[in-house]
Chain A
Amino acid sequence: MGMNASRSFRRSSDAQLTAMRRQWPDFDGRRMGDGTLVWQGPLKPKAQLYGIAIIWHPVNIALPYVVVRDPPLRPRPGGTYAEIPHLIFCREEPEFSGLCLFDPEGREWTPADLIADTTVPWTAEWLVYYELWHMTGEWLAPSVGYESVARKMLDDAAAVREVLNDVH
């Protein structure tokens, strides 16, 4: 569950900006002309320093979109971007994929929750497990559904093969 039990409640843009400024003072937050909120700032979950961008619009963007800007995400040696676990995978430009930080069906985040309380610590957590995945080849954090887009595609292809075999 998210941080706020009242699901009909929505945090205002000002409340999100204020909470981010208070809790993550090294992030630079701004409201764009169309009301989109953008934060950029550093996180250092283990030894590596990362530059993060968070984008959200209270009406047009349902979920806060988090991108790792610096250093860019990298696949494991010899692997592909689609194998990186728990992304909002962008087919056209995989390096701009967002981080899939929670289960939308489980309503683990709603606009009633503060990005500062949820999205940012979840991003730091994602980055540690991403580093551990590079080290071990396994995603060691709690998750639901497919670990990666590549794995889903493999499973889909296997399912199609099975159906085709039955048809023949």
Chain B
Amino acid sequence: MNQLVNPFQQADALDEVLLDVAALIELSPRDRRIAENRYRLLKLHLERKSSPLAPYLIDGESLIYAQGSIATSTTIVSGTEDDRFDVDAIVEIDVPSHWGNDHALDLLEEALQGFPGANEVVRCTRCVQLRFAFMHMDVTIMDRSARIPVARAGEIFHSPDRDESCRVASNPWGFTLWFRNGVGIGQDTFKELLRRHRATVGRDRLPFLDEQEMLVAKSDQVDLPPMIPSHIDAQEAVALKLLKRFLNLRYEGLAMKRPPSIYLAKRAGDVGHTPHGLAAQLFILADSTAKIMRDHTGRGTRPDERNPSYPPDRINDRWPAEGLSGVKEMTVFAEQLEYLCERLNRMVRAPLDEMARIIDDLFGERIGKAQREALATRYDRRQDSGTLFAAPRSGAIAAATLVSKPEVYREIPRHHFHSMIVGDGDER
């Protein structure tokens, strides 16, 4: 329970629902182990003797590493109907000076052929995508030959079907460090609450590629160096997951380019932590970002967000577009965020059935249904009446499974609800 605000203004009930949603959309610990195993396989596959990239992956340092949401602990399921996770990897090499700007991705595409368990290998503008069942891994080549005096800064390749190829300054490693250092690993109270929600709501999704992967997934500890940075449970990271899920659904039906995830991560890091809980964290993130968009459209400018660890890395270099279409993109983005804020404001004082309808709308009916089931199960005391807690003053009710500090609450005396009729002299 957040004790910083008037108990009648607290958003604990909405936080409870949002924490369920967050636990439902994230990678489970087992799925993280599977993803980690695939990063290991990526290294093995690219370093195999017949790989055209093998000669360039020669020093002992880890040249292949996770980037993007998996590194910031903000990976979520994509789409309304399927449970797919999208993860990213960087392959750092010294690109020979005579290679053209398409050649590194050409070789990467060739080297990734035959990747175990991948159904497809697809060339994209800046990466090559490995498509597994329920998981896509975007692999990007980075040239580190310039030896820029910033840890793991370099250039990636922009190689479109039409138009000229070029190089783009990039430092995803530095951005990950900036984000992780900024948000920290999470406050103890919040982490404990999230752990309790995960214990009842979290679910495994990724199917195994083979028996080896099944063994890896079932083992709590693997005697190999980690390929994915450790998990973080900061409130800012959880709010970012919720925002990403909301935007995924909102943009699904829009013929409009959306801002890149890294821009949202930068905003989440810039906003910082609020002590007023998860709903407030999400509201502040959405509200402040909407205001930035409105400010840009009002002044006729565009956001130019830089990677704090390496400013030449322009993290939203492809969004928004120049000119009127960019104004439209920013306006539509602001509208989505404002809608989210309005819905959060409504939910913060809504009864559970109305809240459930809004959750369906914001995060998808499949997630909403699972959340309702989790909530009902948590409070179902028909078979075992168990213990229930009420907070002083407001009477806020909390299920025993979520209460980590029972001293803040009072235990409700046991009793049974009943029914009777009064009036017209017939009292039963």
Contact = CB atoms under 8 A, between A and B. Distances in A.
A122 interface: yes
A146 B428 CA distance: 11
18 contacts: A26-B393, A47-B11, A47-B347, A92-B423, A100-B419, A102-B416, A103-B416, A103-B418, A108-B414, A121-B395, A123-B395, A129-B417, A135-B356, A141-B381, A143-B417, A144-B418, A145-B418, A145-B419
Contacts of A23: 392
Interface stretch (A11-19, A38-46, A157-165): A38-46
Interface of A: 1-3, 23-26, 42-49, 85-92, 98, 100-104, 106, 108-109, 117-118, 120-126, 128-129, 131-132, 134-136, 138-149, 152
A2 B422 contact: no
Contacts of A144: 416-418
Contacts of B388: 125
A25 B416 contact: no
A141 B87 CA distance: 43
Interface stretch (B64-72, B269-277, B372-380): B372-380
Contacts of B413: 1-3, 117-118, 121-122
A17 to B, nearest CB: 17
Interface in B384-405: 385, 388, 390, 392-397
A132 B390 CA distance: 16
A152 B380 CA distance: 23
A108 B356 contact: no
B397 A46 contact: yes
B100 to A, nearest CB: 59
B8 interface: yes
B385 A142 contact: yes
B420 A100 contact: yes
B410 interface: yes
B396 A125 contact: no
B44 interface: no
B8 A49 contact: yes
Given A47-B351, A85-B419, A122-B412, A140 B376 contact: yes
B14 interface: yes
B412 to A, nearest CB: 5
Interface in B354-375: 355-356, 372, 375
Contact of A132 (B352, B395, B420): B352
B393 A24 contact: yes
B348 interface: yes
Which of A26, A43, A86, A125 has the most chain B CB atoms inside 10 A of its CB? A125
A126 B393 contact: no
B416 A45 contact: no
Contacts of B11: 47
Contacts of A103: 415-416, 418
Contact of B417 (A24, A85, A131, A136): A85
B424 A92 contact: yes
Contacts of A101: 415, 417-418
B164 interface: no
- Considering residues B392, B394, B420, which has the most beta carbons from chain A within 10 angstroms of its beta carbon? B420
B421 interface: yes
Contacts of B394: 42-45
B345 to A, nearest CB: 11
Contact of A45 (B349, B392, B397): B397
A100 B424 contact: no
Interface in B302-318: none
A56 B359 CA distance: 40
Contacts of A100: 417-420
A126 B423 contact: no
Contacts of B422: 88-91, 98
Contacts of A42: 8, 394
B39 to A, nearest CB: 41
B174 interface: no
Contacts of B415: 101-103, 108-109, 118, 122, 142
A140 to B, nearest CB: 4
